Amino acid sequence: MTAIPPPFPAQPPVAMANGPQTMPAPPPPTATVSASGVSKHFKGLVAVSDVSFAIQPGVTALLGPNGAGKSTLLRMLSGQSPTSQGSVWVAGGDPRKSLETRRQIGIVPQQDGVFERDTIFEFVKLAAVLNRLPDPEQAALGALHAVEMDPNLDRPMGTFSKGMRQRAKIASAIVHDPSVLFLDEPLNGLDPKQRRHMIELFHNLGQSGRTVLVSSHVLDEVERFGSRVLVIANGRLAAQGDFRAIRALMDDQPLRYRVVCSDSKHFAAHLIARGLTVGTTILDQYSFELTTLDALKLRRSLAAIAKEVTIRLFEVSPLDADLESVFRYLVGGRHQ
């Protein structure tokens, strides 16, 4: 086990909606993963364009819609795919060239493929052997225990559900206790209990000094991974920093909410009267949609107003807090 490095320094969010970064900052001294001007082209198609960042130990979420370039970026960081331009630096080396760097990396690829005829124990033990661990069996047992899988499961992995494969891939990625983990949509196929467990596992790995980069296109997941995010859209780094701060940037934009309560017309009228909404649409007796220019104030006042006017408030759900909305804002919405 390596010494736990100093905590991640607080950094303000940096939105990069106005174009590619032109001046990549030098990686901080504690950075374990960095990219400098990284681009990837496929037969004239630009998958990733001029991306630069540096991340430190802890959990960082790589956020972006499907097709944004997350997997391509992770594949370049892990060394699977060479960069078309720029360079990556992982745990002190180039993962495409350095065996020592590869020893430091664990990866959960997005694809489902596993060695279908192998049992889960054989699969994870193989990773341990290939990493030249002194006791591969014990390491495999430990990794399988960490993902709550039975090492005695004597079925070929070809018969596994997606969730079981996903946990097997995570066990294979952590079996050699890597200092850097690249996890590409690792929660796909897991049930809610398993998701909670895996998120806790990633947090523990991050807190014990590992650098964990987790990609996801699900906003809710990203919030649970932690506050540090890299946001990628259309192959470009759209923002990086504290996720809550990035979302707060959206609060100066008109945001829509759906409210479910015991009397939609009555409650909507109260909100209009108090200047909390600039538009409402009554959906039915119990629900309505509203648009607000001050989301923070609205969120803080809703419950109190409902109590004051004796209306039962059942549900308030943001309609613009989904990832696509974040991207609309970060990538182009602010110019519209």
Partner 1 sequence: MSTPVSAIYHLVLRHQVSRNRLIVMAITFSLFVLAGVLVATNSEADSTTMIDIIATIGLSIAVPIVSLVFASAAIGEWIDDETLVYIWLRPISRVQIAIAATAACLTVAFPTTVITMTVAAAIGSGFEADVMIGAAVSTALTTLAYTALFVALGALTRWALIAGFVYIFVWETTIARFGDGLARLSIRSYGASALHHITDVTVDLGNRSVWASYVIPLAVVAAGVGLTTLILETKDVP
Which residues lie near partner 1 (CB under 8 A)? 75, 78-82, 95, 99-100, 102-103, 105, 107, 109, 111, 113-118, 123, 126-127, 129-132, 136, 172
- Give the whole-angstrom CA distance, residue 63 versus residue 233: 8
C-alpha dihedral, 193 to 198 to 199 to 203, nearest 10° = 140
17: how many CB neighbours lie within 10 A of its CB? 18
Q: β-strand 255-261 against 279-282: which pairing, if any? A: unpaired
Q: How far is the CB of 64 from partner 1 (least distance, A)?
A: 20
Of 7 and 82, the one with the shorter C-beta distance to partner 1 is 82
CB 307 within 8 A of CB 270: no
Q: How far is the CB of 306 from partner 1 (least distance, A)?
A: 52
Q: How far is the CB of 233 from partner 1 (least distance, A)?
A: 23
- Give the whole-angstrom CA distance, residue 251 versus residue 295: 6
Q: How far is the CB of 176 from partner 1 (least distance, A)?
A: 9
**Which DSSP symbol is given to 93?**
B
- Give the whole-angstrom CA distance, residue 24 versus residue 85: 14
Contacts 24+ apart (CB under 8 A), 330-334: 330/15, 330/17, 330/231, 330/233, 330/238, 330/239, 330/246, 331/17, 331/233, 331/234, 331/236, 331/238, 332/17, 333/253, 334/17, 334/253
Reduced DSSP (H G I as helix, E B as strand, rest coil) percent helix, strand, coil of the chain, to 5:
35, 25, 40
Of 114 and 231, the one with the shorter C-beta distance to partner 1 is 114
Q: How far is the CB of 74 from partner 1 (least distance, A)?
A: 11
Q: How far is the CB of 137 from partner 1 (least distance, A)?
A: 10
Of 66 and 336, the one with the shorter C-beta distance to partner 1 is 66
C-alpha dihedral, 233 to 238 to 243 to 244, nearest 10° = -110
Q: How far is the CB of 158 from partner 1 (least distance, A)?
A: 10
- Give the whole-angstrom CA distance, residue 213 versus residue 216: 10
Q: How far is the CB of 81 from partner 1 (least distance, A)?
A: 5
Alpha helices by DSSP H, 21-135: 70-77, 99-103, 120-130
Provide the total of helices (H) and of strands (E) in the chain, helices listed first. 11, 14
